[in-house]
């Protein structure tokens, strides 16, 4: 990256590829985490409701 202009240089095709791969990876992981949290909060709610009934 040393041959790049520090002011306003666009990414090289290789860097763009890395950038997009990271975006995809982060989006996939974030989706998985959100799904996990939906399940977790659902279970917590059921447990809390169950405890309040008993």
Partner 1 sequence: MTTASTSLQNLASARDLFALTKPRVMSLVIFTALCGLLAAPGALHPVLGFTAILAISLGAGASAALNQWYEHDIDAVMQRTRSRPLPAGRMDRDTALHFGIGLSFFSVLLMGVAVNWLSAAILAFAIFFYAVVYTIWLKRNTPQNIVIGGAAGAFPPMIGWTAVTGDITVMPVLLFAIIFFWTPPHFWALALFVNSDYSKAGVPMMPVVAGRQSTRKQIFGYSLILAICAIAPFALNAAGLIYGVVAILLSIFFSALSFQVMVSQTSEPADMAAEKRLFKFSIFYLFALFAALVADRAILVV
> Least distance to partner 1 from the beta carbon of 48, Å?
8
Among 31, 40, 53, 54, binds partner 1 (CB under 8 A): 40
Task: Indicate whether 35 belongs to the interface with partner 1 (CB under 8 A).
Answer: no
CA distances for 7 relative to 13, 32, 48, angstroms: 18, 37, 55
Residues 49 and 17: their CA atoms lie apart, in Å, by: 48
Can you give the binding site for partner 1, defined by CB under 8 A?
Answer: 1, 4-12, 15, 18-19, 22-23, 25-26, 29, 40, 43-44, 47, 51
């Amino acid at each position: 990256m040393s041959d790049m202009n520090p002011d306003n240089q666009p990414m090289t095709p290789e860097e763009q590829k890395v950038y997009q791969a990271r975006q995809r990876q982060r989006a996939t992981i974030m989706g998985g985490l959100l799904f996990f949290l939906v399940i977790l909060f659902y279970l917590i709610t059921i447990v809390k409701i169950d405890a309040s009934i008993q």
